[in-house]
Every structure is written in structure tokens, then in C-alpha cells.
């Protein structure tokens, strides 16, 4: 319920100042802050002025209302409502909330202002308290009100000035921050560029190193193959000659000579084993070992292995057991090579087992279509530090007992298992025993590399040097030569000079985009047939017409890139 706080009239012009003053004071007493007091006072004096001009006078009443607590000021014209009042007070509406109406035919303007008080402030004594304070109000004169108004104006100007200064300061601060951000951005870009350069250099270094390694390894294999070859002829000659000497038809030898000849023969035989092992290994490593794929029944293969290995069991305390699961299907592999691997493992197992058993088993894993062939023994075992080293050439575990051998058997066996598309691993515990496991696919994987050997000249086009390095690294082994272009324009120049056999092409590049390169190739009879692998960060809805294969950059791995190259040059693999 609205409580009236004060009522006054505007009858002469002078009263407008009094109303203005009252507005300000009431606003102050009910708790409005300084800026709001000026708003209310200014609005009220303007309403009063307009009412006086249009209707000749008005009654002004101040009320407290709520909840929520508000100050309500009503200005009621003393005469008939006049048109144009709302229009004349439009600017006042920006200072305070105004509503226009009429009461008994007279114009009524209501001004409301929300008070910064809680609803509990509206207790019964509230309005009385305000009224008591208002009772002490001294009426003002136009002159004094003008001075007050001036003071307010100056204060407002001061406030505006202060706000403008604040704005300038904020602007300067913002500019400063912007400069900071720009500097940071530049620094980050430079760092990124630096890092990129580093990565590219690293890739180049890696490329160089792996090329050197490959060369060194090839040289080693060549050396082994040549030396073994050269050695084999004289060693077989020595063996032949010793046999001749001990032949019954030959002249008889003295007892001592016979013994010496026997020693020569057995040494030569050892040497021949070493030379043959070296030759096998060199052949397996040089990639010249070509499996002859055939369908193999593993139960039969293991049966034969058992028959030929039983004579190697020389201790009565050791049993050789061979078992093969009933569900093992026919596999496609090279039976001869696989037998050599297994015989190698069985020979070792028997050599290093004094008692217990050597068990050969064969288990089918349907889930990944592989067979697991294990040779398990209860022999001396191998310490953890040496389980991988035994696959190194010539490595033999030092023991109390010389067991003979060359240290070439396991590296050879592992290499052959890999040539067959499988793997050879070992689990072992010193003093307990060892299990060597060959895992083979049921069907060997397709021959890696493009059909018909390598692709001639591959051109890699991408503006990102790091990504170019990735592609180059991935396809280098499949290509005779790889060249690079950093943008479409450069690519077209290089293609015109030296026609590549396949192209890796990035679509988004500065200086002529990949699509334009494709279009240019498609328009040229001689270039139209070059297979193109499109490599793109954002895959288009459908591949460009001329592209033979596509690789999304986020899925580019050496495998996907090589597979795409094979697809592009007409391989059978996806």
C-alpha cells in the first residue's frame, strides 16, 4: 500500500525549483545514491516545467510503495490533459521510468524508482521516519537551487572527465596487451618454425643414418657370403683329400699319421659346418632366401621331425615328445625352411638338457589364424640378460661346459621365421628351462613392395617440409628415386622436366593448389597417366577425378602411405 510522504503544488514558476529541491532531498532520504538523486530531481523539474507550460499548474505527491521498495512520484495536472505531454517528456524517459495516464480527465505522469533496500525495510515505522526527516526541510530560493544545480553539473562533468580518463587508460592498456600478444605470437611462430626446421634436419639425419646402416648391413652380408663361398671349396677339398689318404686302397699310414689325419678331417668337418651356417645366414639376410610356398600338413611335418630327431637323443634321462593339436589346419608355408628352423631349436634343446624332456607342440589360434609351434625343454635355461642376445650372430652363453656350435643357429632361425611371415621368440628361466616359440600365419602375407619390384621416380608435393620428410621416409625403399616440391607451381615445373612415375600430392598449398595441379595433369595427354596419391588434411566429399588413391593426413603412417603408392601404381593390395 502506497504511503504518501509529501505533497506540494506548482502554481507559480518559482515552485518548479522547490519541487526540484524536494525531489532531490526525498530521493536522498529514501536511500537513492547521488547520481540517482540528480536523475530524480532533473526529471521532476522537467515534468513540472512542461506541466506548468501546458496546463498552468500541477500537484506533486511523493509516495513510498512496495514490495519491492520503490519511490513513486505522481505529478497531476491542474487542468485538462494536454496532447503532446508524452512527446515533450521523451528525453526525461531516458533518466527515469515514466508512465502517462489521466485521473478525472487531468493528465497524470508517474515516476518510479526502485530503492536499494531489502523488502524488510518497509516496516510500519518506515514512512513515518521519512516524513519526520522531511518535516525539517527548508524551502529553497531559485538562486540557491541554481547554485546547487551548478554544483551538480560540475560534479557530473567531473565524473564524465574521470570516466573519459579511465577509458583512455583502458584503451592504452588494451593496446599494450595487444602489442604483447602480437609479440608472443611472433615469438611462438618463430619458435615453431625453428622446431620445424629442427624436425626436418632430424629426419634428414635419420634418413642418412638408416641409409648408412642399410649399406653396412648389406656389406656385411656380401662379405659373409663371399668369404663363406671362398672357404667352402678348400674345406671340402681338405675333407676329400683326408678321405683319400685313409682310403683302404691308399698306401698304409703309420698309426700316428692315421690319428693326425682323423684330427684333420674332424676339424675340417667343423669348419664346413661353420661355413655352411654362415652361407645360410648370409643368404637369409640378403633377402635372397625365397620361400617355396606349398600347402603343409603340420602333423606330418612334425612326425618326420620326430623320426629324424630321435637319434639325437643321447641321454636316457631325456625324453623327446612331439604333439600336434587335432584342429591345426593345413597351412601355406615352406615346409623345408620350417623344418630347418624347428630342427635347429630341437637340436639346441637336446644339447642343453641333461634330464627331463624336450616337447615340441603345435597349437592353432583361430582368432588370428596363426599356428604356434613351441619347443620347450627342461634344460639349463638362459638368464634374462641374455634372452635377446642369443639371437645375435656368434653369441653363445658362457657356461661351465663347451657345447660346440657356431652361435649362428638362432639368428638364422629367427630370420627364416620372418621370411615365412612369422616370428621366433623365447621365454626362459635359468636352471628351469626354455621355450622357443615360432608363430606362423596360416597364409603368408602378401609380398610387400609394389608389384614388379620398385617404382622408378616418385615426386612428393607438399608445402610442409616435415610432412614431406614423412612421405619420403615411408616410400624411399619402394622407389628408385624420390624428389620433392614445395608447391604446385614448382611441382608442375619439375614434372615437365623429369616425368615422375607416381606423385604424392597435397591439396591445400600456397602458390597453386593441388586441384589445379590435378587439372593441369588431366589436360595433358602425356601426363594424364601418372598415378597420383592425394594426401589431404581435409578430405573432400569425393576424391578428385584424377586421383588414384587418397590418404588423410591424420591417418598417414608409413604403412598407409606405402599401401596407397601400391594401389596407385596398380598393385593388387588395397
Taking the complex as a whole, the smallest distance from the CB of residue 402 to ligand ADP amounts, in Å, to 10
Relative orientation angle of helices 34-55 and 142-246, to the nearest 10 degrees: 130
Q: Are 532 and 547 in contact (CB under 8 A)?
A: yes
Q: Which is nearer to ligand ADP, 28 or 405 (CB)?
A: 405
Taking the complex as a whole, the smallest distance from the CB of residue 405 to ligand ADP amounts, in Å, to 2
* Grid cell for residue 557: 603412417
Taking the complex as a whole, the smallest distance from the CB of residue 274 to ligand ADP amounts, in Å, to 9
Q: Are 67 and 117 in contact (CB under 8 A)?
A: no
Measured over the CA atoms of residue 524, residue 526, residue 527 and residue 530, the dihedral's sign is: positive
Query: What is the Cα–Cα distance from 321 to 297, expressed in whole angstroms?
Result: 18
* Grid cell for residue 266: 674332424
Taking the complex as a whole, the smallest distance from the CB of residue 337 to ligand ADP amounts, in Å, to 16
Taking the complex as a whole, the smallest distance from the CB of residue 472 to ligand ADP amounts, in Å, to 37
Q: Which is nearer to ligand ADP, 291 or 407 (CB)?
A: 407
Q: Which is nearer to ligand ADP, 405 or 465 (CB)?
A: 405
Q: Which residues contact 282 (CB under 8 A, 6 or more apart)?
A: 221, 222, 224, 225, 228
Q: Which is nearer to ligand ADP, 344 or 484 (CB)?
A: 344
Q: Which is nearer to ligand ADP, 410 or 458 (CB)?
A: 410
Nearest to 379 by CA among 340, 344, 346, 339: 346
Q: Which is nearer to ligand ADP, 52 or 352 (CB)?
A: 352
Taking the complex as a whole, the smallest distance from the CB of residue 214 to ligand ADP amounts, in Å, to 24
Q: Which is nearer to ligand ADP, 293 or 395 (CB)?
A: 395
Taking the complex as a whole, the smallest distance from the CB of residue 391 to ligand ADP amounts, in Å, to 7
Residue with the closest Cβ to ligand ADP?
Answer: 405
Query: What is the Cα–Cα distance from 112 to 41, expressed in whole angstroms?
Result: 12
Query: What is the Cα–Cα distance from 133 to 394, expressed in whole angstroms?
Result: 111
Q: Which residues contact 89 (CB under 8 A, 6 or more apart)?
A: 46, 47, 50, 98, 100, 109
Query: What is the Cα–Cα distance from 342 to 427, expressed in whole angstroms?
Result: 16
Taking the complex as a whole, the smallest distance from the CB of residue 268 to ligand ADP amounts, in Å, to 18
Q: Which is nearer to ligand ADP, 228 or 396 (CB)?
A: 396
Q: What is the largest CA-CA distance in the chain?
A: 163
**Residue by residue, what is the 3-state secondary structure of 390-458?**
HHCCCCCCCCCCCCCCCCCHHHHHHHHHHHCCCEEEEEEECCCEEEEEEEEECCCCCCCCCCCCCEEEE
Q: Which is nearer to ligand ADP, 431 or 543 (CB)?
A: 431
* Grid cell for residue 348: 639346441
Residues of this chain that interact with ligand ADP (CB under 6 A) are: 348-349, 352, 377, 379-382, 390, 395-397, 405-410, 434
Element (H, E) at 87: helix 85-88
Taking the complex as a whole, the smallest distance from the CB of residue 344 to ligand ADP amounts, in Å, to 6
Please give the order of strands across the beta sheet that includes 423-429.
318-324, 356-365, 370-377, 433-441, 423-429
Q: Which is nearer to ligand ADP, 289 or 410 (CB)?
A: 410
Taking the complex as a whole, the smallest distance from the CB of residue 440 to ligand ADP amounts, in Å, to 19
Amino acid at each position: 500500500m502506497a504511503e504518501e510522504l509529501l505533497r506540494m503544488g506548482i502554481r507559480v514558476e518559482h515552485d518548479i525549483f522547490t519541487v526540484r529541491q524536494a525531489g532531490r532531498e526525498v530521493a536522498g532520504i529514501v536511500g537513492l545514491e547521488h547520481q540517482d538523486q540528480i536523475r530524480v530531481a532533473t526529471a521532476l523539474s522537467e515534468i513540472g516545467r512542461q506541466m506548468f507550460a501546458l496546463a498552468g499548474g500541477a500537484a506533486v505527491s511523493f509516495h513510498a510503495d512496495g514490495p519491492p521498495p520503490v519511490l513513486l512520484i505522481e505529478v497531476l495536472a491542474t487542468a485538462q490533459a494536454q496532447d503532446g505531454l508524452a512527446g515533450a517528456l521523451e528525453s526525461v524517459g531516458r533518466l527515469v521510468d515514466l508512465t502517462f495516464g489521466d485521473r478525472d480527465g487531468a493528465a497524470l505522469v508517474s515516476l518510479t524508482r526502485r530503492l536499494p533496500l531489502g523488502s524488510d525495510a518497509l516496516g510500519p515505522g518506515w514512512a513515518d521516519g521519512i516524513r519526520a526527516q522531511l518535516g525539517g526541510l527548508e524551502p529553497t530560493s531559485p538562486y540557491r537551487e541554481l547554485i546547487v544545480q551548478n554544483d551538480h553539473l560540475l560534479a557530473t562533468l567531473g565524473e564524465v572527465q574521470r570516466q573519459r580518463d579511465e577509458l583512455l587508460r583502458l584503451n592504452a592498456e588494451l593496446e599494450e596487451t595487444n602489442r604483447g600478444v602480437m609479440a608472443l605470437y611472433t615469438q611462438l611462430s618463430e619458435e615453431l618454425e625453428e622446431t620445424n626446421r629442427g624436425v626436418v634436419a632430424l629426419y634428414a639425419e635419420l634418413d642418412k643414418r638408416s641409409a648408412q646402416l642399410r649399406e653396412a648391413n648389406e656389406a656385411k652380408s656380401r662379405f659373409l657370403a663371399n668369404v663363406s663361398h671362398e672357404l667352402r671349396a678348400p674345406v671340402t677339398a681338405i675333407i676329400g683329400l683326408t678321405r683319400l689318404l685313409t682310403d683302404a686302397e691308399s698306401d698304409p699310414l703309420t698309426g700316428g699319421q692315421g690319428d693326425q689325419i682323423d684330427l684333420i678331417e674332424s676339424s675340417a668337418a667343423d669348419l664346413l659346418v661353420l661355413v655352411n651356417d654362415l652361407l645360410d645366414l648370409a643368404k637369409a639376410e640378403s633377402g635372397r632366401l625365397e620361400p617355396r610356398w606349398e600347402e603343409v600338413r603340420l602333423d606330418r611335418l612334425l612326425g618326420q621331425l620326430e623320426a629324424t630327431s630321435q637319434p639325437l637323443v643321447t641321454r636316457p634321462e631325456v625324453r623327446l615328445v612331439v604333439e600336434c593339436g587335432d584342429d591345426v589346419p593345413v597351412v601355406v608355408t615352406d615346409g623345408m625352411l620350417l623344418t630347418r628352423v624347428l630342427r635347429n631349436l630341437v637340436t639346441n634343446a637336446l644339447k642343453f638338457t641333461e634330464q627331463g624332456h624336450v616337447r615340441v607342440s603345435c597349437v592353432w589360434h583361430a582368432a588370428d589364424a596363426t599356428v604356434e609351434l613351441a619347443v620347450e625343454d627342461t634344460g639349463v635355461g638362459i638368464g634374462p640378460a641374455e634372452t635377446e642376445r642369443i639371437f645375435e650372430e656368434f653369441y653363445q652363453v658362457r657356461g661351465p661346459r663347451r657345447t660346440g656350435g657356431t652361435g649362428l643357429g638362432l639368428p638364422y632361425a629367427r630370420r627364416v621365421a620372418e621370411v615365412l611371415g612369422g616370428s621366433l621368440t623365447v621365454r626362459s628361466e635359468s636352471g628351469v628351462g626354455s621355450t622357443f616359440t615360432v608363430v606362423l600365419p596360416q597364409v603368408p602375407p602378401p609380398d610387400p613392395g609394389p608389384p614388379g619390384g620398385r617404382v622408378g621416380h616418385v615426386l612428393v608435393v607438399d608445402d610442409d617440409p616435415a610432412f614431406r620428410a614423412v612421405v619420403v621416409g615411408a616410400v624411399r625403399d619402394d622407389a628408385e628415386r624420390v624428389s620433392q616440391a614445395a608447391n604446385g607451381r614448382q611441382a608442375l615445373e619439375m614434372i615437365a622436366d623429369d616425368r615422375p612415375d607416381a606423385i604424392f600430392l597435397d591439396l591445400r598449398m600456397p602458390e597453386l593448389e593441388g586441384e589445379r595441379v590435378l587439372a593441369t595433369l588431366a589436360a595433358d595427354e602425356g601426363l594424364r597417366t601418372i598415378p597420383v596419391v592425394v594426401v589431404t588434411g581435409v578430405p573432400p566429399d569425393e576424391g578428385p577425378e584424377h586421383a588414384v588413391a587418397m590418404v588423410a593426413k591424420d591417418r598417414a603412417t608409413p604403412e598407409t602411405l606405402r599401401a596407397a603408392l601400391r594401389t596407385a601404381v596398380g598393385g593388387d593390395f588395397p
